[in-house]
Amino acid sequence: HTNSTDLPAMSQAGDTNIAEEGAEAPDKHLPVDMEPAADVTEETEKADTEKEKSRSSSGAGGGEAAPPAAPATPSAAADAAGAEQPADGEGGEVAIAENNEEAAAAAAAAAAAAEAEAEAAKLTVLDLIKSKIVLTDYLMDETFTEEHAVFIETEFLQSSHSNLLVAYAHPKAGLQFDTSFPTMRLTEFFYFMKSSTIEEGQEITVENFNDLIQYGSISGMGIDCMLRVMNELYAPVFFANKDWPDTIRNDFSLQLHKFMSSLTDTRWKLEDKTVLYVPIEGMDLTSEEAAKDKDLIQRLEMILIHWTRQIKDVTGSQNAFDDDDKAGPLDEINFWKNRCEDLSGISKQLDKPGVKKITAHLEAAKSSYVANFLKLASEIKKNTAQAQSNLKFLTSLKDMCYELADAKPKDIPGMLQKLVNRIRMIWTNSDHYNNKESMTGIFRKLSNEIIRRCCAEISLDKIFQGYITSSVNSLNECITCCKKWKESILRPQKSISDSPRTRGTWTRAASLPRWTRSSSAAKTCWRSASVRATSLATRRATRRSCQFLAAHAARRSRPSCSRWRACSRSCSRPSGTRKTPFWM
């Protein structure tokens, strides 16, 4: 039981407990007509004020917001809950409109990103082209301009008529792009080629760039680069392909071997060398296995025939050089130098395992072309020894020939005797350069060099311009030079008399006037000189023999001694009145 005076105290205690527990408990302990106490109201207002301050401070400072304070009274909690719930009328429509605007903005941003990506794809193709070009002493980032980008875009990427793009360094204009190969000689360039599978109007992108565009660089001579690419890249790929039908593969391999043989020969002929094309096909087979493949043997025979033709051209090149009427002595020395290197190179190539492997395959197949090739191979070794010997002796003339090539006509007569003596040394000691053809060739080339020096000294312009004294002196010097040269080669008596052995080659050189191709008078002069020298030596030997036989016959008192005495008297007469002995 409670008294009525105790009710206000109890109600105040209950309200205090409710305020401490928070806003979750309903305000059911208070009667409807009872109002909250004044101190509770003040506490509620203070809590609301602190809550607003915390919200404003968190929004202004940008830091982490503190958790909201609990309302002091149940009515305040209800008011706060009602303020947080969205209203059903005008507030809902505003939220829907805001969501629609956000969706439209997102769609516009996606479209802009797609356009930017498409634009970036075109630029990336240009970047790919620019990054792949490699030219000596050129950096694309520094030399590549906007004009170059426009040219590539319009003339190559977007054009359906241009399938080639060439980048090269012009000596004066710098980095240049063109849709065709330039006519000027280039040592290095980079190219891009469209594939034949590209369709009309098909766009070149980053994804299909490697499928539609073939690119690469060429440095040095074009034929040299082609030979390297074919030998190291395409030929091994083609010969390793086993997926083709046999008929197509055999025919293609035969034509490829023909092309590679001609390409190899042409490339090395530019340097006056002979290189044999050795294929890689059939190198992994034994001779018995290769002999069973008739198509392979046919291709190897074709290669062997080409080798035979190359060797015949080398052995026959000497005759072609001998017929050159404009060559000089230095050309003769260079010819034998190149020939020695060429023949030595062929000899080394004939000893390579690849060549021996092919000849073994053909011998196992009993090919009829092997015997002729082996015969030519043995001749190559003999010709190599001959070329080395000739080069060794002709090198002794090199310094004098250089002096002759730079000399004035007035200085040439002092060099002639030394040149002739050196040629005679070669004729005496050489085992291969002592024949008539070789001597004829070296003297003819010396004559060509003297003629060139005289022609270089005579100036028709000075003659017609009135320089009489200097022109007459030049002409007289040239005439004197030519006369001295004729005397040097038309006076062999002393050389024959001083010769340590009689070889007969100088005597047989009655055709020596062909070295100079001068006149019939020179021919007669040389022939008479040769006859006089020969007759003198013959008369002396014959006279001594006849005197010995005559004395012997006189002691025997034979009637035939008068004939021997007559022979002795006839041999002592001058050559013009000499009677020919009966045995001659």
Sequence-separated (6 or more) residues with CB below 8 Å from residue 432? 386, 389, 390, 438
Q: How confident is the model at residue 95 (pLDDT cuts 50, 70, 90)?
A: low
Q: How confident is the model at residue 349 (pLDDT cuts 50, 70, 90)?
A: very high
Least confident of 65-79, 248-262, 442-456, 516-530: 516-530
> What's the structural domain count of the chain?
1
Looking at every residue in the chain, the average pLDDT score rounds to 74
Looking at residue 31, what is its pLDDT?
42
Looking at residue 158, what is its pLDDT?
86
| Separation between Cα atoms, residue 477 and residue 412, nearest integer Å | 10
Name the nearest CA neighbour of 432 among 390, 395, 398.
390
Domain for residue 493, yes or no?
no
pTM: 0.56
Domain for residue 233, yes or no?
no
Sheet of 213-219: strand order equals 174-178, 164-170, 188-194, 213-219
Tokens of 387: 């070329």
Domain for residue 556, yes or no?
no
Burial of 409 (0-12, 13-18, 19+ CB in 10 A): buried
Name the nearest CA neighbour of 517 among 442, 446, 447.
447
In 40-194, at which residue ranges do the beta strands (DSSP E only) sit? 164-170, 174-178, 188-194
Q: How confident is the model at residue 549 (pLDDT cuts 50, 70, 90)?
A: very low
Percent of the chain clearing pLDDT 70 (strictly above): 65
Tokens of 432: 């291969």
Q: How confident is the model at residue 113 (pLDDT cuts 50, 70, 90)?
A: confident
Looking at residue 44, what is its pLDDT?
57
3-state secondary structure of 166: strand
Bridge partner residues of 194 (DSSP): 213
Tokens of 127: 């970047």
Domain for residue 572, yes or no?
no
Name the nearest CA neighbour of 386 among 349, 434, 350, 351.
434
Tokens of 578: 């000499």
> Is residue 362 predicted with pLDDT exceeding 90?
yes
| Separation between Cα atoms, residue 144 and residue 129, nearest integer Å | 11
Q: How confident is the model at residue 275 (pLDDT cuts 50, 70, 90)?
A: very high
**Identity of the residue numbered 509:** A
Q: What would the pLDDT profile of 397-408 be if each residue is shown by its tens digit?
A: 999 999 999 999
3-state secondary structure of 324: coil
Sequence-separated (6 or more) residues with CB below 8 Å from residue 42? none
Looking at residue 543, what is its pLDDT?
53
Tokens of 576: 């013009």
Domain for residue 482, yes or no?
no
Give yes or no for a contact between 449 and 400, defined as CB atoms under 8 angstroms apart: no
The number of helices, as runs of H, and strands, as runs of E, in the chain is 25, 4
Q: What would the pLDDT profile of 10-19 be if each residue is shown by its tens digit?
A: 444 444 444 4
Bridge partner residues of 138 (DSSP): 135
Give yes or no for a contact between 334 and 411, defined as CB atoms under 8 angstroms apart: no
H helices present in 409-519, as ranges: 413-429, 436-457, 460-465, 468-489, 493-497, 513-516
> Is residue 203 predicted with pLDDT exceeding 90?
no
Q: How far is CA 181 from CA 22, 168, 193, 367, in A?
A: 92, 10, 12, 46
Domain for residue 504, yes or no?
no
Name the nearest CA neighbour of 343 among 395, 394, 385, 393.
385
| Separation between Cα atoms, residue 246 and residue 334, nearest integer Å | 49
Residue 205 belongs to what domain range? 121-220
In 131-236, at which residue ranges do the beta strands (DSSP E only) sit? 164-170, 174-178, 188-194, 213-219
Domain for residue 331, yes or no?
no
Domain for residue 210, yes or no?
yes
Q: What would the pLDDT profile of 305-322 be if each residue is shown by its tens digit?
A: 999 999 988 887 776 666
3-state secondary structure of 280: coil
Concatenated DSSP letters of 12-64: HHHHHHHHHH-SSS-S-SS-TTPPPPHHHHHHHHHHHHHHHHHHHHHHHH-SP
Q: What would the pLDDT profile of 521-537 be if each residue is shown by its tens digit?
A: 344 433 444 444 444 44
